[in-house]
Amino acid sequence: MQTFWSKQLHILLISFLLIALSTPVFAKNTIEGLRIWPSPNTTRLVFDLANTPEYSYFTLNNPQRLVIDIENTPKNFDFKKVANDSKLVRKVRYSTAKNPKAVRVVIELNKKIDKNIFALPPTEPYGNRLVIVLNAPESATQKIVLNSKSTTDRDIIIVIDAGHGGEDPGSIGPSGSYEKNVTLGIAKLLQSLINKEKGMKALMTRTGDYYISPNKRPQLARKHKADMFVSIHADAFTTPQPRGASVWVLSMKRANTELGRWLERTERHSELLGGAAEIIQDTANERYLAQTFLDMSMDHSLTTSYDVSRDMIRHLGKVTKLHKKTPQGASFAVLTSPDIPSILVEMGFISNPQEEKNLNWSEYRQKLAQSVFNGLKQHFKGSPPDGSLWAKWKQEKRTHRVRSGESLSLLAQRYNVQISTLKKANNLNTDVVRIGQVLMIPST
């Protein structure tokens, strides 16, 4: 009896397998979420999916719409519950798909846009994604011009880059803090300090929670004709023990420390989070990077960057522990502008529980922002850019201590000023000067 039922079971199993093999199997996908990340000129929509998407798309006019068909996917997600502050996207909704097993998603647009659509594989903390990047045409055609600064008492321009953002959270602390929020908070405080200082002006690469490619951040600095580019970050490592601030400059070679190599890997990970396909497809950007490493002005930028880094480290050391007491070198995309001195400041280790707590403390953030500002101020007081108001002030405050054999006429000739102007600036009633006397040298 047992043998009979065993044979029957065996026959049923074989029959089931034959039926399964002969029947087409559709891998079922699901929409697990939607995030809309608006920036001033761009909007990024990210669909979280259970599996790799099979998709197609087309556009419609009057009104403007982008229509996406995703195969083997049901209408399981409610788009109405998704926050949308985009100026480009009016609404996301479903429509009738081309076949019963697909889902059709319609993105209603407020204007005609340029689009870039690509799928991304799972990258912690996200799974499979379908990314739609929408650009307003006017922003897509903006021209990047070479640095060409004014020569009439201009402000010193500092571009502040709050690391990560949007789809890319950066490092995540043990209690769940996102690096992108820490960096934006400190960057805003630094911007406020700089803009309060006469003769200085600060601009931000991002002012909200949205993603910008690491390669495009230095381009924004060039567009604003910056004198300095400062990228704000928070360190992380595989263990919780490391702590302290550090300052990084561009190295043409691979980083020579374990931490540097770790940071290079995490930056590439951030590019994947934000959309590596967008970077790869930007052929103009590739040409820009190629020119960067050939441009001889990089030598001046690297030297200046190193000098600023040393000033910055001295001031950071007054408010926090230093992980490294000298500038560190690594190959970071955000530091590759050829004609703009650029540094990356790691404010501390978000992977260290105590430093994560400190980095979320408003008073501590203010102290960090103040120390970065003090470092910048110290550098530019000593070496103001040509044509800046600070350069004019420094020239106006030139002094000379009279040495043996020097006369007023000799000093006037040396500094290319009139004797009468030199006498007036120093309230002199005679042409006689004394050894050791300190004279003010007026600007020419």
Do 222 and 141 form a contact (C-beta atoms < 8 A)? Answer: no
- pLDDT-wise least confident of 129-133, 330-334, 378-382, 411-415: 330-334
pLDDT in tens, 308-359: 999 999 999 999 999 999 998 877 777 777 678 999 999 999 999 999 999 9
Q: What's the whole-number mean pLDDT along residues 174-186?
A: 96
In terms of pLDDT, which residue wins out, 358 or 23? 358
| One domain for residues 134 and 233 | no
pLDDT for 200 beyond 60:
yes
| One domain for residues 316 and 416 | no
CATH of the domain at 432: 3.10.350.10
Separation between Cα atoms, residue 291 and residue 293, nearest integer Å: 6
| One domain for residues 87 and 207 | no
| One domain for residues 336 and 408 | no
Q: Residue 416 corresponds to which tokens in the numbers above?
A: 């290319």
Separation between Cα atoms, residue 143 and residue 223, nearest integer Å: 8
Look at residue 401 in the predicted model and tell me its pLDDT: 87
- The count of domains in the chain is 3
Residue 18 lies in a domain: no
pLDDT in tens, 29-70: 999 999 999 988 899 999 999 999 999 999 999 999 999 999
| One domain for residues 209 and 282 | yes
Look at residue 263 in the predicted model and tell me its pLDDT: 56
CATH of the domain at 252: 3.40.630.40
pLDDT confidence tier of residue 237, bands split at 50, 70 and 90: confident
Residue 263 lies in a domain: yes
pLDDT confidence tier of residue 159, bands split at 50, 70 and 90: very high
pLDDT confidence tier of residue 179, bands split at 50, 70 and 90: very high
pLDDT for 15 beyond 60:
no
The bridge status of strand 114-120 relative to strand 31-38 is unpaired
Average pLDDT over the chain, rounded to whole? 83
Residue 135 lies in a domain: yes
Residue 108, beta-bridge partner list: 65, 91
Do 30 and 101 form a contact (C-beta atoms < 8 A)? Answer: no
The answer for residues whose C-beta is within 8 angstroms of residue 96's C-beta and 6 or more apart is: 104
pLDDT confidence tier of residue 265, bands split at 50, 70 and 90: low
| One domain for residues 435 and 294 | no
Separation between Cα atoms, residue 82 and residue 129, nearest integer Å: 16
In terms of pLDDT, which residue wins out, 443 or 130? 130
Residue 16 lies in a domain: no
Look at residue 239 in the predicted model and tell me its pLDDT: 86
Q: What's the whole-number mean pLDDT along residues 392-398?
A: 77
| One domain for residues 44 and 188 | no
| One domain for residues 300 and 432 | no
pTM exceeding 0.85: no
Look at residue 289 in the predicted model and tell me its pLDDT: 45
What Rg value do the Cα atoms of the chain yield, rounded? 30
Range picked from 2-16, 193-207, 261-275 for highest mean pLDDT: 193-207
CATH of the domain at 121: 2.60.40.3500
Residue 232 lies in a domain: yes
Q: What's the whole-number mean pLDDT along residues 204-223?
A: 89
Q: Residue 395 corresponds to which tokens in the numbers above?
A: 């020239």
Percent of the chain with pLDDT over 90: 51
Residue 4 lies in a domain: no
pLDDT for 182 beyond 80:
yes
Q: Residue 422 corresponds to which tokens in the numbers above?
A: 């030199």
Strand order in the sheet with 65-70: 55-60, 65-70, 103-109, 89-95
| One domain for residues 204 and 92 | no
Query: Which domain covers residue 84, as residue numbers?
Result: 31-139
Nearest one of 53, 131, 40 to 86, comparing CA atoms: 40
Residue 100 lies in a domain: yes
Look at residue 107 in the predicted model and tell me its pLDDT: 97
Residue 12 lies in a domain: no
| One domain for residues 205 and 237 | yes
pLDDT in tens, 136-158: 875 443 444 444 455 568 999 99
Look at residue 333 in the predicted model and tell me its pLDDT: 74
Look at residue 250 in the predicted model and tell me its pLDDT: 82
Look at residue 257 in the predicted model and tell me its pLDDT: 55
| One domain for residues 185 and 301 | yes
Choose one of 139, 164, 181: the last residue of a domain.
Answer: 139
| One domain for residues 133 and 83 | yes
398: part of which helix (H) or strand (E)? strand 398-401
- Please report the DSSP string for 215-231 in residue order: TTHHHHHHHTT-SEEEE
Look at residue 143 in the predicted model and tell me its pLDDT: 44
